[in-house]
A and B are shown apart, each in its own frame.
Chain A
Amino acid sequence: MLDGFFASTVVQSALLIGGAAAALSGIIGVFTILRGQSFAGHALADISSSGGALALLLGISPMAGFFGLSLLGGLGLGQRRRADSSLVAGIMLGAGLGLTALLLHFAVSQRGVAGAAVTIMFGSLFAAPPGAGAWALGGALAGLLLIACLYRPLLLASLSEELAALRGAKVRLLDVLFLGMLALSVTLSAMSVGAILSTALLIGPAATALRLTRRPPAAMALAALLGVACAWAGVALAYASYGWTPGRVWPVSFFITACVLLTYIIAAWRRG
Chain B
Amino acid sequence: MRYLLYGVLLAFSAGVAQAKSQIVLHAVGLESQYANVMAQIGGPYVEVRAIEDNPNADPHEFELSPGVARLLHGADVVVANGLGYDSWADKLLAGGKATVISAQAVRHLPASTPNPHLWYSPATMPAVARAVAAAYAAKDPDHANAYWRNEQAFVASLTPWNKALAGIKAHYAGAKVAVSEPVADYLLQAAGLSIATPFSLQAAVMNGTDPAPQDVSAQQALLSTGKVRVFVYNQQVTDALTTSFRAIAHKAGLPVLGVYELMPPSAKTYQNWMLQTTRALAQALAARQ
Which residues of chain A have a CB within 8 Å of any CB of chain B?
Answer: 3-5, 7-11, 14, 59, 105, 108-116, 118-119, 124-130, 238-239, 242, 246-252
Assess whether B121 is interfacial by the CB under 8 Å rule.
Answer: no
Within 8 Å by CB of A108, from B63, B199, B215, B244, lies: B63
- State how many angstroms separate the Cβ of A18 from the closest Cβ of chain B: 13
Q: Mark B189-216, 1 if CB is under 8 A from A, else 0.
A: 0000000001110011111111111111
Give min CB distance, A236 to chain B, whole Å. 11
CB of B236 closer than 8 Å to a CB of A = yes
Within 8 Å by CB of A112, from B198, B215, B237, lies B237
Query: 1/0 contact trace for B124-160 toward A, CB 8 Å?
Result: 0000000000000000000000000000000000000
B209–A115 CB distance below 8 A: yes
Partner of A110, one of B56, B200, B215, B244: B56
Q: Across the interface, do B208 and A116 meet the contact criterion of CB distance under 8 Å?
A: yes
Q: Are A248 and B203 in contact (CB under 8 A)?
A: yes
Please tell me which one of the listed residues A5, A128, A247 contacts residue B240 in the complex, with CB atoms under 8 A apart.
Answer: A128
Q: Which of A5, A247, A250 has the most CB of B within 10 A?
A: A247
Q: Say whether B212 contacts A247, CB under 8 Å.
A: yes
What is the CA–CA distance of A108 and B63 in the complex, to the nearest angstrom?
A: 9
In the bound complex, residues from chain B placing their C-beta under 8 Å from that of A126 are 210-213, 216
| Contact yes or no, A248 B204, CB < 8 A | yes
A-B contact pairs, 16 of them (CB 8 A): A10-B211, A108-B58, A112-B61, A112-B236, A114-B60, A114-B61, A114-B208, A114-B237, A114-B239, A119-B208, A126-B212, A127-B210, A130-B247, A239-B213, A247-B198, A247-B200
Instruction: Determine which of A7, A113, A119, A246 lies in contact with B58 in the assembled complex, contact meaning CB atoms within 8 Å.
Output: A113
Please state if B56 and A113 are interface contacts (CB–CB under 8 Å): no
A5 to B60, CA, bound (A): 32
Residue tally, chain B, CB below 8 Å to A: 36
Interface of B is mostly: helix
Q: Of the candidates A109, A113, A246, which one forms a contact with B238 in the assembled complex, judged by CB atoms under 8 Å apart?
A: A113
**With a CB–CB cut-off of 8 A, which chain B residues contact A109?**
57, 61-63
Bound: A4/B220 CA distance, A: 13
Question: Nearest chain B CB to A240's CB is how many angstroms away?
Answer: 10
Please name all residues of chain B whose beta carbon is closer than 8 Å to the beta carbon of A115 when the two chains form the complex: 207-209
On whether the beta carbons of B58 and A247 are closer than 8 Å, the reply is no
Give the complex CA separation of A9 and B62 in angstroms.
33
With a cutoff of 8 Å between Cβ atoms, the chain B residues found around residue A8 in the complex are 213-214, 216-217
Q: Are B237 and A129 in contact (CB under 8 A)?
A: no
Q: How far is the CB of A248 from chain B (nearest CB, A)?
A: 6
Contact status B56-A4, CB under 8 Å: no
Residue of B nearest to A10 (CB): B213
| B57 and A112 contact, CB distance less than 8 A | yes
B217, B240, B241: the one contacting A7 at CB < 8 Å is: B217
Q: Do A129 and B212 contact each other (CB < 8 Å), given the known contacts A114-B60, A248-B204? A: no
Q: What's the Cα separation between A251 and B239 when bound, in Å?
A: 18
The residues in B between 18 and 63 inclusive whose CB is less than 8 angstroms from any CB of A are: 54, 56-58, 60-63
Nearest CB of A to B251, in Å = 12
Shortest A244–chain B CB gap in Å is 12
Q: Hey, which chain B residues are within 8 Å of A111, CB to CB?
A: 56-57, 238
Q: Which residues of B contact A5 (CB under 8 A)?
A: 213
Contacts of A105 in B (CB 8 A): 63
Task: A250 to B211: give the CA distance in the assembly, Å.
Answer: 9
Known: A10-B216, A114-B61, A249-B210; 6 extra A-B contacts, CB below 8 A, are A14-B213, A110-B54, A113-B208, A114-B58, A115-B207, A127-B240
